[in-house]
Structure 1
Amino acid sequence: MSSTTSRCVALLGGSFDPVHRGHVALAGLFAQLLHPDELRILPAGLPWQKNNGLEASDADRVAMLELAFQDSGFAVMIDTREIVRKTPTYTVETLRELRFELGPDASIVFLMGADQLQKLDTWRGWRDLFALANFGVAARPGYRLDHAALPAAVAQELAARRATPDEVRASPAGRVCLAHTLAVDISATQVRALLHAGAAGNRDNPGENRGTDLGALLPEGVLDYIQQHNLYKS
């Protein structure tokens, strides 16, 4: 592969069940660091690590993603290939498809949070991922990116791959950019639990909110969509 690239494509995958402000913040952080030519959001179809499946439908998750990113300040493309595939979702297969489509010289950067990096060695064909893409990894509160916090095999792989955003953008694959500046700690599990508990609160009287304000966790328009479509009901 060439060391000089003319195109950088950043990818943010996930279940997005539902999409929350942490997802948007992660995408925004690397949009600023990498200045990618294209930022794709890849909602999972049948994520193999989700034992209990997905609560929202494919159509609802895509609709919420469109709402979440429409005013984000950076352009995104919603890539539904994993939904269309209708088989268990493995990142290595998606990256092989994208590498074939984008060619050998494009810089592909797969974005993730530190929590995902800490269990990277459980992913199918995880070592092959480095031959297919670069990685952009952001720390979030409570999750460390240092050597001691990672599985030994993952830490060993990363040791010689750490790079600056410019180096990642200039490399087709195999480099890793670690960002320690994402101060957003939100999980979809947390959001679903609050929704199940009826913690959305009273919009006409904010003082009647029960528990966490979901408006602070969900992007503009997403909470309205969830309520209008009766999603995440107990």
Structure 2
Amino acid sequence: MATSGPPERPTCVAVLGGSFDPVHHGHVALARLFAQLLQPDALRILPAGRPWQKRSLQAGDDDRVAMLELAFAEVTPKATIDRQEIVRSQNGAPTYSVDTLRSLRAELGDKASIVFLMGADQLQRLDTWRDWRELFGLANLGVATRPGYDLAQEALPPQVAQELSARLATPDAVRASAHGKVCLAQTLAVDVSATRIRAALQAGTDATRDANLRTALGADMNAPAMAQVLDYIQQHNLYKN
């Protein structure tokens, strides 16, 4: 009598969105962390078109995409730069994560495990996002710490903490679920921000500015891809004003 093997695992797609203005080592470290934890089949990077909670982007869409291609060139699984939010924003409307996840769910089907990655700073503001509760019906969340931001429930907005309390799961459980689970990772100790990078570009002499920028980007953190991003920024005179 033939015996059936273990059930086939659903396809797992890790999704990392953001302004990436510019991309930095913290973004890549977040993706690598969850690639290790979840072993996803694919990684989607989604540069924002017009993020509604942020001021105007300083770098153009093509420059941000080019920097992302450099930054994620050596990440496994191979990253796909998905421009759908940029395309949607071409009519001048802001872009929302919930709309992106609706689109991805329609594309990938009901069974695929979609894991939307974010830092603890974003989780602390989750209740300000458009239709934020609907996110759990569309995807899982993968949330990582960053210095200065607490993942403890008492540090979260009460409504967010309540939603998370019943959804916390191991990486394996998140990997096996289409949506509705949350994996918290306490092991990402990278303190890099795009705001600090832009400030470094506008401060001091050229030599001081370059040194500050290397540190802010993470180019000194055994991250050769960030050195390539730094070269791109300098060659294209980005963020000078």
| TM score, norm. by length of structure 1 | 0.91
Structure 1 gap ranges (5+): 203-207
- Which residue of structure 1 aligns with residue 78 of structure 2? 75
Alpha-carbon distance change, 198 to 12 in structure 1, aligned in 2, over 3 angstroms = farther
The 2-side partners of 1:200 and 1:181 are apart by: 35
For 1:55-94, what aligned pairs fall within 5 Å after superposition? 55-86=58-89, 87-94=93-100
Shift of 1:6: 1.8
The 2-side partners of 1:160 and 1:118 are apart by: 17
Q: Which amino acid aligns with 1:20?
A: H
The 1-side partners of 2:66 and 2:38 are apart by: 26
2:120 corresponds to 1:147: no
For 1:111-126, what aligned pairs fall within 5 Å after superposition? 111-126=117-132
The runs of at least 4 aligned residues of structure 1 exceeding 4 Å deviation read: 208-212
Deviations 1:113-167 (A, max 9, x none): 0000000000000001000000000001111101111000000000000000000
The 1-side partners of 2:178 and 2:187 are apart by: 24
Shift of 1:34: 0.3
Shift of 1:70: 1.0
Shift of 1:71: 2.5
- Which residue of structure 2 aligns with residue 127 of structure 1? 133
- Which residue of structure 1 aligns with residue 227 of structure 2? 220
Alpha-carbon distance change, 157 to 200 in structure 1, aligned in 2, over 3 angstroms = farther
Q: Quick one: which of 182, 186, 203 aligns to 1:180? A: 186
Shift of 1:53: 0.5
The 2-side partners of 1:79 and 1:184 are apart by: 25
For 1:86-105, what aligned pairs fall within 5 Å after superposition? 86=89, 87-105=93-111
Q: Is the 8 A contact 1:109 1:134 kept in 2?
A: yes
The 1-side partners of 2:84 and 2:15 are apart by: 13
Q: Which amino acid aligns with 1:146?
A: A
Shift of 1:197: 1.4
Q: Is the 8 A contact 2:197 2:217 kept in 1?
A: no
3-state SS of paired residue (2:44): strand
Q: Is the 8 A contact 1:92 1:128 kept in 2?
A: yes
The 2-side partners of 1:182 and 1:199 are apart by: 32
Structure 2 gap ranges (5+): 1-6, 220-225
Q: Is the 8 A contact 1:4 1:171 kept in 2?
A: no
- Which residue of structure 2 aligns with residue 195 of structure 1? 201
Q: What do you get for the CA RMSD once the two structures are aligned?
A: 1.9
Alpha-carbon distance change, 167 to 212 in structure 1, aligned in 2, over 3 angstroms = same
Which of the two has greater helix per residue? 2
Q: Which amino acid aligns with 2:65?
A: V
The 1-side partners of 2:210 and 2:64 are apart by: 25
The 2-side partners of 1:101 and 1:199 are apart by: 49
Q: Which amino acid aligns with 1:28?
A: R
| TM score, norm. by length of structure 2 | 0.89
Question: In the comparison of the two structures, how many residue pairs are matched?
Answer: 226
Shift of 1:211: 4.3
Instruction: Work out the percentage of aligned pairs sharing the same amino acid.
Output: 66
3-state SS of paired residue (1:191): helix
Deviations 1:7-45 (A, max 9, x none): 000000000000000000000000000000000000000
- Which residue of structure 1 aligns with residue 144 of structure 2? 138
